Structure 1
């Protein structure tokens, strides 16, 4: 035991780096990023459907490539994720566990390769990968293309061990490298190029025998055969092919891989030259691609200040002193760079460049190890960069990512399924990208029943739009005006169509579950702007958003609200009811972005008598309002500005009036229309 403790203490730097790397990749997987991306939902449902029913949502049994929404999705992530889905069920967290686990695996493999190259190089390589912005983000969500680099990294680890006496390393490395073609389309070009380059490096070192070479090519060819058959079938075939339980689907429309490989596209040469500039900007200038889950603006995928270290490492890898691992990474970088130039670039499409670029930067760090003060300063700067990046990632940037991942949409569908009776129709907003796939992810129907009920107008489209399946209809249409419709999932921009007097709302992020009230027994009245008369010192009364931003929703006290009234400074708005009002519940506060406000009072007057006064509150505070009204027929919503009225963006949040005497005894609990 003491020996193990001593060994861990000697390796405390490595242990600390591994612990930090695991934390950055595994903590809060289901919440950072929040929400669910359509690519995640697609591969998650198809993996679940194949695992439990043997077919995907297009009816293909154990396909070598998923058809998904019509133009294809790579299948390797789906198959590797199945153990997690089998054990934990289909959830956002379980689907992302594979990405996180492979991210940790990449740390271990990268460290092992570094340690084999040189003892000091081990911790340099680990440090660079642990702190990499690209790798942290790529390990936190279930985009199937993000696993491609770790597949190639595993192959390099095997190829680096190849010797004539280790008969299994070369064939295993070639097999794993060939598996990359099932991970992401750019590997169709990269894998054969890198295989040829790697074999050349190993041949020069006499690292294999002729027998090992022949067996390796045979094994790689057998692994590649199903994908080759799939590609040939889509180029020349007329329909799906079935080989035992496995299917080689033919796309109903154009293949996705054909649109991102620029030489195949219209204007290919000019677009390739423009794309090369984009690739250089992403690799060396800290550019981002506008996708919040790929990079944070200002940080990029790779720290710009590492460029000199990368150049230093590149020079070393091209020198006579370079070892086998350096040469393999140099060949990887060259093949990945060529593949990136001919692939319409964003950070995840050119993800093969990042690991060899990090290796070269780590080599640059390693060159400094003879100067301890310099290497400590550079390592400290790298750790500080990672700390600042992580604070941003897990802080305000997560809200940006979550919005791009439709945060609240999945939860709204879950509530609709829980609240609506079995078989009742549910109309779902079409504001998110491919909303039907999130509904499939949540409801998890038998794929055969989905196929029977799916309404797909254009099945030969590269991205099929589904108008409905089972109990779901996508797009609200005129359903809010039809009295026989009772249940909806709506985006905040659509809530104006639902009068609070007639519809109850439960909000989740930017989305909400909406239910029609029973008009015969309705005892509650939602307060809408059109019911009010009055004035305020600036702007106009705004519904469902702060003053000047109607429909934008509210951010108050660090929470998100979709319903309410936005006022300014000194205001007085009056509602008159033909029925007695017995109570009101709401919340109130100043918008979070109104930090320059010097405070406001929120007051309620029933039949001219003050029944509630908040006292002066500041921005960031959120107060509950729960007041008996004793049968009043007039209610005034009043705000009083502080010494000045600058930034006084006051908000009455989801006010609901009780019209039945039995509700006069109000609960002091928070507003049920916020989550």
Structure 2
């Protein structure tokens, strides 16, 4: 079959897998998706974020988690063109997933000069459960992974055409402004690749200098933010280096060893933190994570399989071995890539973490494709046709079974079993409350399930100026923003006992006061009650 037709078919498959029922599965918008969507809507309609800041460049305050601006600005275009919906909020991520298949093809072609290997790599990327999981929801990391991939592709093109080095650095900066982990990944990747290929890059010194100057200018908006205490908030929230148990353990061991100079060296807390980092770093390469269980967070994995297919395992091992054996020039950049990406994730308490290391894609898919491609070439040359095609058929059937298992679970069981993890029920609750809001003097919404205000702002398409006028908000001790009310709607039940007049109450099962009359309940897709709606 013509290779162009094959590529088109692979891209068509990629498109269907990423766009089919995009607005319906996952079954609801998570808090983060709702936050990204509302801030994108606010920017697209007024140029302000939900806190009234005009076109923020370094970060969006959002919940107080200070989101990088990249996805929100991409989303604002989507929301502006297609109106505010689950589909439009997720669209940039779906497009990113599709384009990653395209640039996987282009990068492999650049590194290995083989169209067959490029097609195989693109196909494996197209059906990757890791890529599909993150392409079908609004994940900043997925867009950042695309920018990272494009930057690396352009970097290798720049070795032949120096002017593209500037474009490569710009895409690294795009990734820097899109996901927090890429604030570390991007400079490390660019620096490491530049050091490895410094002799070639020095042949175009002018473009190196121009790239440094322009990159510095593009990074200027981030400097003051990165020095602020707000920038450290998210890092401090998840960092292993804030674990005081490590310091207590180190001090205890030193004391037990008599406070000697030697004990202060071998039990130094920095050494213990280093070991802790290495453990968390290596977690991201565990076989359990990659092949059997995946990420423990149900929003990041379907829970029934790994981030890769079990089918991939032998080809990954063989691919690594053969890349080394054949001294392929693509091996070194792939290894640099794979070793750098988990560094930020290694500093976090929750590991392994499919979200934080998403920019590692498509290295695994490239290695798997290389292993499979080399095996096919070897067997075609060394075995008879009957054996070759029989083995190829068995291999294809095994892949089809793996692929079907994933799709069946993702579309049939996953949305039902894990709808609660996607905050299912908020949209239905907001719709009900908004329809009857005029009948009540005050409305109380439980905040025990998270941040309900963002769903009212999102689904009611609150103009940001009206939102700012009606909200009551404050920052907690950790720096996060809490919206306690929006007009007559109170978020939290602390003042419920003082409510006067007609009151509408939204609470959780088991927490309905006896004086209230139940109007309706809202269930998730597995049939469990999420909200009870009552009046007094």
Is TM > 0.5 for Structure 1 vs Structure 2?
yes
Structure 1 position 144 matched with structure 2 position 143: no
Which of 197, 219, 224 is the matching residue for 1:224?
219
Cα distance, 1:354 vs structure 2: 3.6
Paired position in structure 1 for 2:20: 27
Which of 288, 308, 313 is the matching residue for 2:319?
313
Which structure has greater helix proportion? 2
Q: Aligned in 2, Cα 1:146/1:480: closer, same or farther, shift over 3 Å?
A: farther
Kept in 2, the 8 Å contact 1:57–1:68? The answer is: yes
**Residues of 1 paired with 2:190 and 2:174: CA distance?**
12
Structure 1 position 335 matched with structure 2 position 327: no
Which of 111, 115, 121 is the matching residue for 2:117?
121
Q: Aligned in 2, Cα 1:358/1:142: closer, same or farther, shift over 3 Å?
A: same
**Residues of 2 paired with 1:423 and 1:445: CA distance?**
20
Three-state SS of the structure 2 residue aligned to 1:421 is helix
Kept in 2, the 8 Å contact 1:416–1:513? The answer is: no
**Residues of 1 paired with 2:334 and 2:348: CA distance?**
20
Structure 1 position 192 matched with structure 2 position 187: yes
Three-state SS of the structure 2 residue aligned to 1:368 is helix
Cα distance, 1:56 vs structure 2: 1.4
**Residues of 2 paired with 1:494 and 1:178: CA distance?**
49
Kept in 1, the 8 Å contact 2:440–2:502? The answer is: no
Q: Aligned in 2, Cα 1:199/1:320: closer, same or farther, shift over 3 Å?
A: farther
Q: Deviations over 1:271-324 (max 9, x none)?
A: 32431342232654534332112112241212244233223333444466423x
Q: Aligned in 2, Cα 1:483/1:60: closer, same or farther, shift over 3 Å?
A: closer
Identify the structure with bigger relative contact order (alpha carbons < 8 Å, sequence gap 6+): 2
Query: Which deviates the most, 146-155 or 334-343?
Result: 334-343
Paired position in structure 2 for 1:364: 371
Query: Which deviates the most, 127-136 or 11-20?
Result: 11-20
Structure 1 position 69 matched with structure 2 position 75: no
TM-score by length of 1: 0.67
Structure 1 position 60 matched with structure 2 position 53: yes
Structure 1 position 280 matched with structure 2 position 285: yes
Cα distance, 1:457 vs structure 2: 4.9
Matched residues, number? 489
Matches for 1:73-222 after TM superposition, within 5 Å: 73-116=67-110, 117=112, 118-164=114-160, 166-205=161-200, 208-222=203-217
Which of 224, 227, 235 is the matching residue for 1:257?
235
User: Structure 2, unaligned stretches of length 5 or more?
Assistant: 247-272, 381-387
Matches for 1:596-635 after TM superposition, within 5 Å: none
Cα distance, 1:498 vs structure 2: 7.5
Three-state SS of the structure 1 residue aligned to 2:481 is coil
Structure 1 position 505 matched with structure 2 position 483: no
Paired position in structure 1 for 2:452: 435
Q: Aligned in 2, Cα 1:314/1:134: closer, same or farther, shift over 3 Å?
A: same
**Residues of 2 paired with 1:204 and 1:383: CA distance?**
45
TM-score by length of 2: 0.83
Q: Aligned in 2, Cα 1:366/1:208: closer, same or farther, shift over 3 Å?
A: farther
Q: Aligned in 2, Cα 1:175/1:77: closer, same or farther, shift over 3 Å?
A: same
Which structure has greater strand proportion? 1
User: Structure 1, unaligned stretches of length 5 or more?
Assistant: 1-7, 236-249, 518-675
Three-state SS of the structure 2 residue aligned to 1:176 is helix
Matches for 1:417-428 after TM superposition, within 5 Å: 417-421=434-438, 425-428=442-445
**Residues of 2 paired with 1:53 and 1:422: CA distance?**
31
Q: Aligned in 2, Cα 1:284/1:38: closer, same or farther, shift over 3 Å?
A: closer
Kept in 2, the 8 Å contact 1:48–1:90? The answer is: yes
**Residues of 2 paired with 1:400 and 1:480: CA distance?**
36
